[in-house]
Structure 1
Amino acid sequence: MKKLVWLITLVLVLTACGSTDKVNENEGLPTVDLKEVEALQKEGAVVMDVREVDEYNEGHIRSAINLPLSQLQDGERAGLDQEQKYIVICRSGSRSQTASEILHKEGYDVTNVSEGMSTWRGPVE
């Protein structure tokens, strides 16, 4: 019986440690609301829209660059500068989170936008 209790305790501890590591992996990844995007642009940050090309072409934040998440996942980094600060946005906040995590791990200065273009009320091109 003691062995069973010890085994269950060990499994619970290992499970808890595994989930803690996952949370710590993304620590330090800044996230902002849509209302902060324009102010960050004025400070020199570049908006990176990670939606697909057709979505981007339907309307995007002025001066935003387009680098779809699908291309980032394939290793595309053309035109990116690790010295540049990027604000990463998508349609709803999900793809931008994934893209931000990828770029953050590679040393890029990224800030994820928690919301997306579906709720953006500012000017678009």
Structure 2
Amino acid sequence: MKKLVWLIATVLILAACGSTDKAFETVNLEDIEALQKEGALVMDVREVDEYNEGHISSAINIPLSQLQNGARTGLEKDQKYVVVCRSGSRSQTASEILHEEGYDVTNVSEGMSTWQGPVE
């Protein structure tokens, strides 16, 4: 009986450790341009007024508040997205939501408050 309990416990532990669910990557601001060159789209999850004050060139705007309410218009699961916000908090939440739904996302640890590149 002890051997059976030990075997079951071992199988459960190995199954948990062997999970193939890959978490999304988190990068720094300076990695954005390289990811764009590789075909990734920048998704700015700040609110519309924040986005309109200045955003990374070619970034799309889908505010976190809209993502939380189910907005996915125009998003494609085979497209890679680099998710950015003002400070890194909202992009983390947005990345978690989208990753859970099967989108290919990379979170940016910092945000537009420290972005030194050009803005539109």
Matched, 1:121 2:116: yes
Question: How far apart, CA to CA, are the structure 1 residues paired with 2:75 and 2:46?
Answer: 16
1:28 Cα deviation from its structure 2 partner? 1.5
Question: How far apart, CA to CA, are the structure 1 residues paired with 2:111 and 2:66?
Answer: 19
Runs of 4+ in 1 over 6 A off after TM superposition: none
TM-score, with length taken from structure 2: 0.82
How many residue pairs end up in the alignment? 102
1:79-121, Cα deviation, whole Å (9 max, x unpaired):
0000000000000000000000000000000000000000000
Structure 2: any 5+ residue segments left out of the alignment?
1-15
Q: Residue 37 of structure 1 corresponds to which residue in structure 2?
A: 32
Question: How far apart, CA to CA, are the structure 1 residues paired with 2:89 and 2:63?
Answer: 13
Among 52, 65, 69, which residue is 2:64 paired with?
69
TM-score, with length taken from structure 1: 0.79
Q: Residue 104 of structure 2 corresponds to which residue in structure 1?
A: 109
Query: In percent, how many aligned pairs have the same letter?
Result: 76
Matched, 1:87 2:87: no
Question: How far apart, CA to CA, are the structure 2 residues paired with 1:69 and 1:49?
Answer: 9
RMSD over aligned Cα atoms: 1.6
- The answer to which structure has the higher helix fraction is 1
CA 1:27–1:94: 2 relative to 1, 3 Å: farther
Structure 1: any 5+ residue segments left out of the alignment?
1-20
